[in-house]
Amino acid sequence: MNRPGIAPASLLVFALTLSASAESGSGLDDIRLPSGFSIELYTNEVPNARSLALGEHGTIFVATRKDGRVYAVVPRKDEAPRVVTVAKDLDMPNGVAFHDGDLYVAELSRISRYSDIESSLESIPEPEVVNDTFPSERHHGWRYIGFGPDGKLYIGIGVPCNICKKEGFGNITRLNADGSGKEIIAYGIRNSVGFTWHPETGEMWFTDNGRDMLGDDVPPDELNHLRSFGAHFGYPFCHAGEISDPEFGEQGDCKDFTPPALKLGPHVAALGIKFYTGDMFPPEYRGQLFIAEHGSWNRSEKIGYRIMLVRMGDNGPSGYEVFADGWLNGDEVAGRPVDLLFLDDGSMLVSDDKSGSIYRISYRNP
């Protein structure tokens, strides 16, 4: 592990915590990064840390899946960040989004809003249910949410199975911030747990987890590009733009669906995704795409457990390479990256639901 670089004090974890990160069993000494980059423990007080959202005053909101809680991680100058429980006893609260001062939390079948949240951390307000009309099937029921450049709230609705065709599932839906105007904007998506918008075009990009039980190397996960609302990305008929499904392939031709912008590793469980727009990393990283790969569960040799960099060219993705790895050593798994978040200083936060931690990746010219 490279030594930590210098960053504004308001964004640093207390120095003693940082220097002790390797000794505390975080395993970060095994993480490999490009020259000049370093990784450090930001906090390990967020059990089952999943999706991340950034408040306008720097508060980091962290959702969970199994823990049933939502946390607020509040940076403090020259001290470890303060971790506050915003909500508990929730039903798979995987998704969080921040909009106009309010925190939105997605559970299995509903989205709730916590008003003026950063000013209310000492006395958490009662949430207001925004919409509770989402499916209640638990398989792939952990929702990812985010606000698009149009001010609307987007949510992924995974399918309640490995492979099936069921009305109302396998899509990305959007609605107004008040919960009205619910509509499906993309179809044929098995389970998207990460999406973002291009900083220049405003178009949506999202990951999708491929089906299981076709073998170690089939099908690949997908990076998809939504150019127009209503597009269909193939599931359950076609995978990765060219693999006809053995059960449903006769009901749809691959040429009739939108192919992925990039085929990812098979069963890597691609989740969080973000374009880099900051100034800390070298200029060649601006406008490039990062993907958190949670890691395989059903492959004879594990794969994933890393952060990938997608190089973007004029005509779309032009490269797919490892940016950070080392959470997988042989068959031993030390961590599982879930989501990515860029702070105002340009550094990257990474959530890890296995260790209950958030890491910070920064850069200093070597």
Q: Among 276, 172, 181, 278, which residue's Cα sits nearest to residue 230?
A: 172
What is the Cβ-side half-sphere exposure of residue 151, based on CA atoms within 13 angstroms? 6
From 94, 186, 185, 179, select the one nearest 143 (Cα to Cα).
94
What percentage of the chain exceeds 90 in pLDDT? 90
Max CA separation in the chain (angstroms): 61
Q: What is the pLDDT of residues 260-313, one digit of tens each?
A: 999 999 999 999 999 999 999 999 999 999 999 999 998 999 999 999 999 999
pLDDT in tens, 116-149: 999 999 999 999 999 999 999 999 999 999 999 9
Query: Coil, helix or strand for 199?
Result: coil
pLDDT for residue 5 is more than 80: no
Q: Which domains does the chain have, with CATH numbers?
A: 9-363 (2.120.10.30)
Q: What is the pLDDT of residue 162?
A: 98
* Residue 276: how many other CB atoms lie within 10 Å: 21
Q: How far apart are the first and last CA of the chain?
A: 13
Cβ neighbours of 246 (radius 10 Å):
10
pLDDT grade for 351, boundaries at 50, 70 and 90: very high
pLDDT of residue 26: 52
pLDDT in tens, 87-119: 999 999 999 999 999 999 999 999 999 999 999
pLDDT at position 147, please? Answer: 98
- Count of beta carbons in the 10 Å neighbourhood of residue 333: 14
Q: Is 350 left (phi over 0), alpha (psi -120 to 50) or beta?
A: beta
SS3 285: helix
CB atoms within 10 A of CB 133: 10
Nearest to 71 by CA among 103, 41, 101, 116: 103
Helix (H/G/I), strand (E/B), else coil: 86: strand
Kindly indicate the confidence band of residue 366, based on its pLDDT and cuts at 50, 70 and 90: confident
Confirm if 33 and 306 have CB atoms less than 8 A apart: no
- In 3D space, the residue among 244, 242, 245 whose CA is nearest the CA of residue 260 turns out to be 242
Pairing of strands 289-293, 270-275: antiparallel
* pLDDT tens readout for residues 222-239: 999 999 999 999 999 999
Residue type, 53: A
Residue 78: pLDDT band with limits 50, 70, 90: confident
What is the average pLDDT score of the chain?
93
Spatial CA neighbour of 307 closest among 342, 276, 339, 343: 339
